[in-house]
Amino acid sequence: MSRYKIQTDESIMPYSETKTRNGGIVGFVGQYSATNIFQNSYASIYIRKSHLSYEISRQYTKMDSTLSYIGGLFGFIMIAFFIMTVYT
């Protein structure tokens, strides 16, 4: 069993709205125990905690960075059209 922590910034505006989720991940470690016929137990189950932990950080693209990307792209297209009209 190992731990996880997910931090998500769910805001598309320039300010931050971070939500955090914590939990556990149960994984198969590939260990089992077979018992002898002459013993009183049929199976042994081992639950171990892993020393690994996973940390995930994710965020949406902010509105201001999207608008600045579109503005830069628009400026590049206008310069390209201007150069094309000069040379044609």
Buried b (16+ CB within 10 A) or exposed e, 10-43: eeeeeeeeeeeeeeeeeeeeeeeeeeeeeeeeee
Model pTM score: 0.51
Question: What is the domain range of residue 81?
Answer: 2-87
Per the structure, how many domains does the chain have?
1
Host H or E run for residue 70? helix 63-87
Summarised one tens digit per residue, pLDDT across range 57-76 is: 888 888 888 888 888 888 88
pLDDT tens digits for 1-48?
778 898 988 888 888 888 999 988 776 655 555 555 556 666 666 667
